[in-house]
Amino acid sequence: MAGDLVTQDGQIQFGGVLFGETTEYVGDQLTGWDDLPDLDVGSVPMPTQHGAWPGALLAGVRELQWDFTVLPDDLATFPQLLARLRAATAPTPDERDLVVQLAGARRLMRARVIRRSLPADRQYTRGEPSGSVVWQCSDPRRYDVTEAVTGTALPAREPGLGWSGAPGNRMSAGQTAGTGPLYQWWSEGNDPAITGDGTGPASVQALTEGGELVWAFDNPNGDYGWPVKGGEPVTFTNALAPVVGGVTVLNWWGAGNTFLDQTTSLAGQGTVSVVAPVGAVSVQPIVNFLTVMASPVPIGTASLTIGTGEGVAYPLDWGTPGSTGSVSPFNRGDAPAHPVVEFRGPVVRPRLTQTETGRVLEYDISLAESDVLTIDTAAGTVMLNGTASRIYTATRASHPEQTFTLEPGETPMAFRCASQFYDPAASVTVRWRNAYW
């Protein structure tokens, strides 16, 4: 971690070396740290009256000069101290982390050495030379060492008061018909193998004995199936088990994803009806394959019916709160910060909008569940999975990435996507460092 060697005021870490208090590199003065960097003032004089029209204020580079004296604890170590100093302050093509702690505040900058002075005078020959180092920082802002992170999923409705109500099929239309995106089912290690074009019928093929096809659901209680309450009647029906001679299974899970029990059918039986056991919070429908299959077969139709028809019961269960799709990163500094934005699939045309300024990041791209689209607003880059540029997918509504800054204070944002491709698993993450002049 940047600055992990710094423990108190008056210390500087650069190039893997700690300077300043408690070290043999004793600091005399640091110039430019709390100074404002040079500002390019874009004001334009008025041609017919006094004064000017105020223009933009753009900060230039920041230069820091550190004056120091080397005071070895043991004169025999003087050559090693000099060698370490020279290595840490050698010119480099890229900037490196520079961490300074003063007045109880530890700040990070990216810098490189542009000048080092170490006169070979009488102090030098005595092993106690004085010198100076000048760093230049292309970004004049100072940042918190620790990165701040926040994020949200797409908007989701509040479930509200949990009426058990009349029994009803809880599966999606695709799962009911056996068609559509393949993430509606899953299997361990791709066995059995699930195939399809993501639109039409989905198929499955058992490659070994004992494989399980699981119907998937994004459950707020965990990743173990549909919400259920102890005592509720549950019926799982599928067309697959009779075709392949498989076993229809219901796995029951309790709080904290603890396994409670399992209900199974006879081989080739496509329906299981049972009352949920006490303590159950999730039910997971499965078909277990008893034999290897020579070729794929359609998954076919299915349904999962849950409900008692008894209305509400006390104590009332209002359900898990839904997502608002909103996020409000808070820049605690006094300078604008450039965030890194990460969109995670499955999502189509992800969009993040600053609701007060109207600035938008939007990309005409489809992200799978394993995809991450990373926007570095400081560098102005848009990378898919860290390797391939996708900046060309920015839509007309999207603003230039480098203008998408977090001003001091709170910046409310809204995460949205192409509405017809909504998936609750999609998310956005915003990372930033509080920035200071």
pLDDT value of position 160: 54
Please compute the mean of the pLDDT values over residues 124-148 and round it to a whole number.
95
Q: How far is CA 116 from the centre of its chain?
A: 40
Please list, residue by residue across 270-297, b when 16 or more beta carbons sit within 10 angstroms of its beta carbon and e when fewer do: bebeeebeeebbbbbbbbbbeeebeebe
Report whether 163 contacts 324 (CB < 8 A): no
Angle, alpha carbons 314-315-316 (nearest 5°):
90
pLDDT value of position 255: 83
Using CA atoms, how far residue 217 sits from 192, 257, 340, in Å, is 18, 14, 30
pTM of the predicted model, to two decimals? 0.63
- 162 pLDDT higher than 80: no
- How far is 369 from 390, CA to CA, in rounded Å? 17
Q: Tens digit of pLDDT for each residue in 59-112?
A: 999 999 999 999 999 999 999 999 999 999 999 999 999 999 999 999 999 999
Q: Tens digit of pLDDT for each residue in 25-66?
A: 999 999 999 999 998 999 999 999 999 999 988 899 999 999
Choose among 130, 85, 88: nearest CA to 112.
88
φ, ψ for residue 381, nearest 5 deg = -110, 155
Q: Which residues contact 132 (CB under 8 A, 6 or more apart)?
A: 65, 66, 67, 68, 115, 116, 117
pLDDT value of position 168: 81
Please compute the mean of the pLDDT values over residues 212-237 and round it to a whole number.
84
Residue percentage of the chain with pLDDT more than 70: 92
Using CA atoms, how far residue 142 sits from 98, 110, 111, 147, 337, in Å, is 10, 9, 11, 13, 10
pLDDT value of position 321: 56
Q: Tens digit of pLDDT for each residue in 319-329?
A: 555 568 899 99
pLDDT band at 166 (very low <50, low <70, confident <90, very high): low
pLDDT band at 1 (very low <50, low <70, confident <90, very high): low
Q: Which residues pair with 135 in a beta bridge?
A: 64, 113
- 406 pLDDT higher than 70: yes
Task: Tell me if residue 156 falls in helix, strand or coil.
Answer: coil
Angle, alpha carbons 383-384-390 (nearest 5°):
60
pLDDT value of position 218: 75
Supply the mean pLDDT for the chain: 91
Task: Write out the E strands in 206-314.
Answer: 212-215, 226-227, 233-238, 247-254, 258-264, 271-275, 282-288, 297-298, 302-306
> Which ranges in 10-109 belong to alpha helices (H)?
78-88
pLDDT band at 314 (very low <50, low <70, confident <90, very high): very low
pLDDT band at 308 (very low <50, low <70, confident <90, very high): low
Of 319 and 115, the structure prediction assigns the larger pLDDT to 115
Neighbours of 227 (CB within 10 A): 21
pLDDT value of position 114: 97
Tokens of 436: 């200071």
Tokens of 334: 């006094």
Please compute the mean of the pLDDT values over residues 264-275 and round it to a whole number.
94
